[in-house]
């Protein structure tokens, strides 16, 4: 029953808070302006990340209380919201926030879960059932790489109305189901709060979007998914535990692999924004925004269902 309460509360908070932060963003011209690389034709408020952060963290603090998972989410999440809002503020002025400050901030945040005891601790040996336990340095490195990657992957797919929020809702519900199967109550609570917040945000973010989550929201969602996956299934990496988050987060992972491969082949910088993402390609082939997002939702749902099937078969 607590999960239903968390879902309803996160949904209600975002549903009620988005109109308020949207009004403030319009008042202070905190908007994403159209450009050659952007799909939208009119300025759109960039303040959605604030509502998403509140929608996730309020149920977590009320129903979970103080815990390593709560501290990791609140500390790392708040840092990403601040950095993201600064980045979004630059966009609102038609400027680009420098890459290096962002990169340093993301790397620092990626180590927060390990600092709170949430880490990939080892991996099963391919030749036996024995677990290879990582040294603290290796554990910190593997965990940070995973978290850093997801922070950026969610940010990468946030280029079309409703895509990042919808994919996160699907992925988080998959992690919720996996957490219940593994009997991890805290990660199940975070996952269901994430889903509720994203579903409510879709009411305003689906095409035609009336608000964007901005870098603040996208990086926070990626971070929250990464931490939830580590705490729920990746602490001791086996074939089973690796397959669940990799499949549940299949859309952003696959998109990143495709984009980075194309950038390398074309000799472009990996960090440079472009129109090489999967959603851009689908729209170039003639799909509308709604058709593109719906197709990628379907792919995300297939990946998620496959992860649950694998989990049930191999468990």
Quick one: 32 exposed, middle or buried, by C-beta within 10 A (0-12, 13-18, 19+)?
Answer: buried
Q: What pLDDT is attached to residue 274?
A: 59
User: Count of CB atoms within 10 A of residue 55's CB?
Assistant: 28
pTM: 0.92
Q: What pLDDT is attached to residue 266?
A: 67
**Region 236-244 average pLDDT:** 61
**24 against 120, higher pLDDT:** 24
Q: What is the DSSP letter of 230?
A: I
Q: Look at residue 192 and tell me whether its pLDDT is greater than 60.
A: yes
Q: Angle at Cα 271 formed by Cα 269 and Cα 272, nearest 5°?
A: 70
Among the ranges given (15-24, 122-131, 227-236), the one the predictor scored with the smallest mean pLDDT: 122-131
Q: What are 203-206's contacts with CB under 8 Å, separation 24+?
A: 203/15, 203/18, 204/18, 204/19, 204/22, 204/48, 205/48, 205/161, 205/162, 205/165, 206/161, 206/162, 206/166, 206/293
**Region 221-226 average pLDDT:** 96
> H-type helices in 158-213, by residue range?
163-181, 185-205
Among the ranges given (54-58, 174-178, 187-191, 248-252), the one the predictor scored with the smallest mean pLDDT: 248-252
Q: What pLDDT is attached to residue 216?
A: 97
Q: Sorting pLDDT into bands at 50, 70 and 90, what band is 82?
A: very high
User: Count of CB atoms within 10 A of residue 131's CB?
Assistant: 14
Phi, psi dihedral angles at 57 (to 5 degrees): -75, -30
């Amino acid at each position: 029953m607590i999960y239903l309460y968390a879902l309803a509360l996160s949904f209600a908070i975002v549903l009620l808070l988005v109109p308020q932060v949207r009004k403030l963003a319009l008042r202070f011209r905190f908007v994403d302006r159209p450009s050659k690389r952007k799909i939208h034709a009119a300025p759109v408020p960039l303040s959605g990340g604030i509502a998403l952060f509140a929608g996730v963290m309020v149920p977590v603090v009320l129903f979970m209380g103080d815990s390593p998972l709560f501290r990791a989410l609140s500390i790392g999440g708040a840092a990403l919201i601040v950095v993201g809002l600064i980045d979004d503020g630059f966009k609102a002025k038609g400027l680009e926030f420098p890459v290096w400050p962002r990169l340093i901030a993301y790397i620092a945040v990626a180590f927060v879960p390990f600092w709170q005891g949430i880490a990939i601790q080892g991996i099963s040996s391919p030749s036996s059932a024995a677990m290879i336990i990582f040294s603290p340095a290796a554990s910190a490195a593997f965990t940070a790489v995973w978290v850093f990657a997801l922070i950026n992957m969610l940010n990468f797919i946030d280029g079309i109305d409703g895509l990042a929020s919808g994919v996160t809702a699907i992925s988080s519900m998959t992690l919720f189901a996996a957490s219940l199967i593994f009997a991890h109550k805290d990660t199940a609570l975070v996952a269901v709060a994430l889903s509720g917040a994203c579903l409510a945000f879709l009411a305003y973010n689906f095409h035609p979007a009336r608000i964007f989550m901005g870098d603040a929201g996208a990086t926070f969602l990626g971070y929250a998914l990464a931490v939830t996956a580590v705490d729920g299934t990746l602490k001791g990496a086996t074939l089973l535990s690796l397959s669940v988050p990799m499949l549940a987060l299949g859309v952003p992972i696959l998109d990143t692999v495709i984009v980075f491969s194309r950038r390398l082949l074309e000799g472009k910088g990996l960090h440079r924004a472009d129109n090489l993402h999967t959603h851009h390609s689908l729209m170039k082939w003639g799909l509308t925004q709604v058709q593109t997002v719906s197709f990628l939702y379907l792919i995300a749902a297939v990946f998620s269902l496959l992860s649950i099937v694998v989990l049930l078969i191999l468990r």
